[in-house]
Amino acid sequence: MIVAIIDGYTDEPAGLGVPPYLGIYPRYAYGAIKKARKDARIFYLTIDDLRFTFEGEQGIKTKNKTPNVHKTKEILEKADVIIYIGGLHTPGKYLSAVPSQVEEVAKFIKPFKGIKILGGPAFMGSAHEGGTKISSKELTLAQAVFDHIAYGDLEAFLYDFFTNPKEANPLRFRDYSELRDYALLGAEVVKQFPDYPDFVIVEIETQRGCPKAAGIGGCSFCTEPVRYKSIEDRPIEDIVKEVEVFYNLGVRHFRIGRQSCIFSYMAKPNDRVPVPNPEAIEKLFKGIRSVAPEVKTLHVDNANPAVIANYPEESIRIAKTLIKYGTPGNVVAFGLETADPKVAKLNNLNSTPEETYEAVKILNEVGAKRGYNGMPWLLPGINILFGLPGETKKTYELTYEFLKKILDEGLLVRRINIRQVVVFPGTPLWHIRDKVKTEKHKTLIKHYKYKIRHEIDYPMLKRLVPVGTILRDVRAEVFDNGLTYGRQIGSYPLIVGIPKEIELNRFYDVLIVDHGFRSITGVPIPINPNIESPKVLTYLPGIGKKKVVRILAKRPFKTKEEFLEIVEPEKREIYRDIVVI
């Protein structure tokens, strides 16, 4: 029995599976098949393997991957079953991987005779950019290409299918006791992941469903409560065991990110705002650290600011736990979406601007201190959604003012994520889709995006990582136009543009020298002024174009001091420990 799993990459409100993230779906699928059929030979392929195999250099959108080109076609030819996993519900900007959609994979796999199965959120459609309404086109095409579509949990369907195909129910969901074995058996698929072992970050599941939605219903646009009607918290022992298996396989980067709110893990349901459970979170992260002592990244993802604002004491304990056991650069993304109370009410959103402000303040008090990798320990991110029903011009102004207040009060926010709403079938928004404002407010949205990027993001980034900061362990990922782009591994890492081509897939410590609106410029250290190009020298703080001419004329320097004499006096301290001659 030969099985091919094709990872088309997934991005959802509560879960990420875009490289370097290895998401839950391919792992659980692998484990379910292994449990059902010990003799199965399971091959993990990425959509980039297929792009390169069938379209060559032109097709591959991931510049630094070495696809399995020799094997891909052979595997697909021999495969008895071909499983495709995909679905983008919260499209973002990706540095070195481009998620797929059914239309793309269909043209690659159609000629092969294996039984074709579709899994992941793709059956609800995929949005490759904000501001779109999902049509039934993707599902119709999927129904034509795939023999089976898992509308419930792919792993539940696969276990049944490989045990007794006639009984397999594509609508079936599993619970956490069923998942236990699949998760543990599925971990070894990581060995086939292109970023394994040094660069992969594994997304770990702690909870399904949304505690807020269970109390008062979901946010109008969100697919999470549509797919998972009730809340289920994954047992601590199961999470810790899964991390241990990955750790023993050599994985060192983890995000405990597959949940709608980490502060609501094992929380007590309570209408709109569940009561957090700091003891459970302490036990969870202590357990993880005990089985993964030398972990390099231990981050989380989403949090509901209303929980933090309404239960500050418990939340401060939780934030301290995340810092105690986690690693710096950690981010919890807050889904504020809008600062307009009328829009929030109409769309049944989860928190008020006042609550979000309070939560931002609390996290700053606990987590803003800079950690050993150059980033603050634990910061909030803020998600903004434009185009929601009920929006007026005032809505944009209120949201802008809210963000401005955070900036003006000296607080830190790791990122402001501005998306445009996507309308998915089955969500409450689907019923009022004619009221979505993405088209009508196109100019307003463009204007405020620009305003926020220039007037908030830019100064915020300068405050977050001032010139002279050293970011540790930045992985060089892709080349573009004479530049190298890299980032640390973690939750929402900053993209660093490096003004020269350096060897990819290595970690560098980088001196921050300049800021863009959403990314920064950095130069790897140590810096040798005798060999750096004029282009790199121009970027260095306290040098600039004029001094570059002097540096070039004076090279080679014999001592560090000789070089420092040329640097502006107030910037010399930056170079004390990072210049080599």
Q: Is 5 in the site for ligand SF4 (CB under 6 A)?
A: no
What is the distance, to the nearest Å, from the Cα of residue 41 to the centroid of all Cα atoms in its chain? 30
Question: Binding ligand SF4 by CB under 6 A: which of 260, 315, 347, 420?
Answer: 260
Shortest Å distance, C-beta 6 to ligand SF4: 28
Helix 102-109 and helix 47-59: axis angle, to 10°?
90
Pick from 222, 416, 460, 567: which binds ligand SF4 (CB under 6 A)? Answer: 222
Q: x/- string (CB under 6 A) for ligand SF4, residues 10-49?
A: ---xx-----------------------------------
Task: Give the separation between CA 406 and CA 92, rounded to whole angstroms.
Answer: 24
Task: Please identify, among the stretches 57-65, 88-96, 215-223, 269-277, the one whose residues bind ligand SF4 according to the rule CB under 6 A.
Answer: 215-223
Q: Look-up: residue for tokens 């993802």?
A: 301
Query: How many angstroms separate the CA atoms of 377 and 483, rounded?
Result: 29
**218, 287, 326, 353: which one binds ligand SF4 (CB under 6 A):** 218
Residue 306 contacts residue 350 (beta carbons within 8 Å):
yes
Does 224 interact with ligand SF4 (rule: CB under 6 A)?
yes
**Between 284 and 323, how does the x/- string for binding to ligand SF4 read (CB under 6 A)?**
--------------------x-------------------
Binding mask 434-463 for ligand SF4 (x = CB under 6 A): ------------------------------
Q: Is 207 in the site for ligand SF4 (CB under 6 A)?
A: no
Q: To the nearest whole angstrom, how small is the minimum distance from the Cβ of residue 285 to ligand SF4?
A: 21
User: What is residue 347's three-state secondary structure?
Assistant: coil
* Identified binder of ligand SF4 from the candidate list 130, 225, 524, 541, rule CB under 6 A: 225
Q: CA 300 to CA 255: how far, in whole Å?
A: 5
Structure tokens at 11: 């991005």
Q: How far is the CB of 210 from ligand SF4 (least distance, A)?
A: 3
Our finding on whether 104 is near ligand SF4 (CB under 6 A) is no
How far apart are the C-alpha atoms of 209 and 232, rounded to whole Å?
7
219 makes contact with ligand SF4 (CB under 6 A): yes
Alpha carbon distance 68, 61 (integer Å): 15
Cβ atoms of 276 and 263 closer than 8 Å: yes
Q: Is 210 in the site for ligand SF4 (CB under 6 A)?
A: yes
480 contact partners, CB below 8 Å, separation of at least 6: 63
Report which of 83, 82, 92 is spatially closest to residue 15, judged by C-alpha positions: 92
381 makes contact with ligand SF4 (CB under 6 A): no
For the window 166-205, what string marks contact with ligand SF4 as x by the rule CB under 6 A?
----------------------------------------
How far lies 148's CA from each of 104, 157, 289, in Å? 18, 10, 40
Q: For residue 388, what are the CA distances in angstroms to 13, 348, 377, 404, 450?
A: 16, 11, 33, 21, 19
CB under 6 A: which stretch of 213-221, 364-372, 459-467, 567-575 binds ligand SF4? Answer: 213-221
Indicate the pairing of strand 507-515 with strand 483-487.
unpaired
Do the Cβ atoms of 298 and 254 come closer than 8 Å?
yes
Residue from 335, 380, 497, 542 in contact with ligand SF4 (CB under 6 A): 335
Scanning 187-266, the segments in alpha helix (DSSP H) are 211-216, 224-227, 236-248
Q: For ligand SF4, which stretch binds (CB under 6 A), given 70-78, 220-228, 318-326, 541-549?
A: 220-228
Residue 212 binds ligand SF4 (CB under 6 A):
yes
Least distance from C-beta 14 to ligand SF4, angstroms? Answer: 6
Instruction: Identify which range of 139-147, 222-230, 248-256, 387-395 contacts ligand SF4 by CB under 6 A.
Output: 222-230
| Residue 350 near ligand SF4 by CB under 6 A | yes
Q: Which among 380, 398, 411 is positioned nearest to 338, based on CA atoms?
A: 398
The answer to whether residue 213 forms part of the interface with ligand SF4 (CB under 6 A) is yes
How would DSSP label each residue in 117-135?
Answer: EEESGGGG---SSSS-B--
Instruction: Return the bridge partners of 385, or none.
Output: 419
Query: Cβ of residue 280: shortest distance to ligand SF4, in angstroms?
Result: 19
**Site residues (vs ligand SF4, CB under 6 A):** 13-14, 210, 212-213, 218-219, 222, 224-225, 260, 304, 335, 350
